[in-house]
Amino acid sequence: MKLQEIYDLVIKMGIEHDPRGLEVVQKQLTKEKKKIEDLKEDEKKEVDQDRLFNPYTDTRVLYGELNREVKRILVGVDMEVAEVLLADRLEEKGKKIDLIMAHHPEGKAMAGLYDVMHLQEDLLAQLGVPINVAEGIMAGRIAEVRRGLMPVNHNRAVDAARLLDIPLMCCHTPADNMVTEYVQKKIAENNCETLGDIVKVLKQIPEYAAAVKTGAGPTIVVGSKDRSAGKVFVDMTGGTSGSEDAYAKLSTAGVGTLVVMHISEKHRKEAEKNHVNVIIAGHMASDSLGMNLILDDLEKQGVEVLTCSGLIRIKRF
């Protein structure tokens, strides 16, 4: 496959499995196009043109010509300078790496991570939180994340890839959309009544079963296995953790249980205060599941996949 074809496929899959639905995503892209068209000519020069067709600012080709042929890729959760050097070392040993694919964003995709958090506003609205309230509680958190990213030396891995001339891209929200949809469906199909039922279902998914063996499997952090699950919300997409103020609104909207990749102690305490159960599914396992659902499509088209950096590779074909 060409690098362009891989990039297009990643975006396509992200949109098709976006929990907001196709109509909302298309509306976002239309708004973005209008916003760019209305800019002054000197301002247009600063715009990332990928925004016209890619709704996920945390997913980008970071280095490499789009017409490059890709036969073998090295994929992992965090692909930083060490992993770029690993790709070069593999090439020295006879395994040429045509593309490095990270899950977590690097370069300008990391700088743009905050922008995909608006996705969380639409998800809160779908659950019954008024959109004005959802936007209000997310505004401060989005600004906080943006400020936090400003001092980060986010281009280190991109520079290393450029010097070694190895194409580099990252696939973040599209993969997170995949795992969110997959886990939400699994829980719904099994009519989980208690938190214990949810954990049991999660452990039947190979990535989570593998994580159990390394001590990083599904864990209840608010509630107990006999607690009623109520309305279950799988919250694994939208850039990074949302606002602490969301838990009170989720509780009011009738959400009984959150299934997340990870949660900070501040967020956990807010969930507990508002009687919202929380199950941590596992970070690396969840990221692996989302990436695997995309990597399967790449392998079906003849691309060889090598994995590292915490990615638990499970094929589903």
User: What is the C-alpha to C-alpha distance for residues 16 and 157, in angstroms, rounded to an integer?
Assistant: 29
pLDDT for the residue numbered 227: 97
On average, the pLDDT of the chain sits at: 97
Q: At residue 2, what are phi and psi to the nearest 5 degrees?
A: -80, 155
137-141 average pLDDT score: 96
**Bridge partners, residue 191, by sequence:** none
Residue-wise pLDDT tens digits, 217-234? 999 999 999 999 999 999
pLDDT for the residue numbered 128: 94
Under 8 Å between Cβ of 62 and 158: yes
Distance of alpha carbon 263 from the chain centroid: 15
Residue-wise pLDDT tens digits, 39-58? 998 898 889 999 999 999 99
User: What is the C-alpha to C-alpha distance for residues 260 and 278, in angstroms, rounded to an integer?
Assistant: 7
User: What is the C-alpha to C-alpha distance for residues 77 and 286, in angstroms, rounded to an integer?
Assistant: 10
Neighbouring residues of 268: CB distance < 8 A, sequence distance ≥ 6:
221, 222, 278
pLDDT for the residue numbered 214: 95
Annotated binding site for a divalent metal cation: 176, 283
pLDDT band per the 50, 70, 90 thresholds, residue 138: very high
Residue-wise pLDDT tens digits, 277-307? 999 999 999 999 999 999 999 999 999 999 9
Neighbouring residues of 258: CB distance < 8 A, sequence distance ≥ 6:
232, 233, 234, 235, 250, 271, 276, 277, 278, 279
144-157 average pLDDT score: 96
pLDDT for the residue numbered 231: 97
Structural domains of the chain, with CATH: 3-172+286-307 (no CATH), 178-285 (3.40.1390.30)
Under 8 Å between Cβ of 138 and 125: no
pLDDT band per the 50, 70, 90 thresholds, residue 143: very high
Annotated binding site: 176, 283
pLDDT for the residue numbered 85: 98
**Residue 101 — left, alpha, or beta (φ > 0 → left; ψ -120 to 50 → alpha)?**
beta
pLDDT for the residue numbered 141: 96
12-21 average pLDDT score: 97
pLDDT for the residue numbered 145: 96
pLDDT for the residue numbered 154: 96
pLDDT for the residue numbered 108: 97
pLDDT band per the 50, 70, 90 thresholds, residue 91: very high
64-81 average pLDDT score: 98
pLDDT for the residue numbered 245: 94
Global pTM?
Answer: 0.96
205-224 average pLDDT score: 97
Q: What is the 3-state secondary structure (H, E, C) of the chain?
A: CEHHHHHHHHHHHHHHCCCCCHHHHHHHHHHHHHHHHCCCHHHHCCCCHHHHCCCCCCCEEEECCCCCECCEEEEECCCCHHHHHHHHHHHHCCCCCCEEEECCCCHHHHHCHHHHHHHHHHHHHHCCCCHHHHHHHHHHHHHHHHHHHCCCCCCHHHHHHHHHCCCEEECCHHHHHHHHHHHHHHHHHCCCCEHHHHHHHHHCCHHHHHHHHCCCCCEEEECCCCCECCEEEEECCCCCCCCCCHHHHHHHCCEEEEEECCCCHHHHHHHHHCCCEEEECCHHHHHHHHHHHHHHHHHHCCCEEEEECCCCCCCCC
Under 8 Å between Cβ of 172 and 109: yes
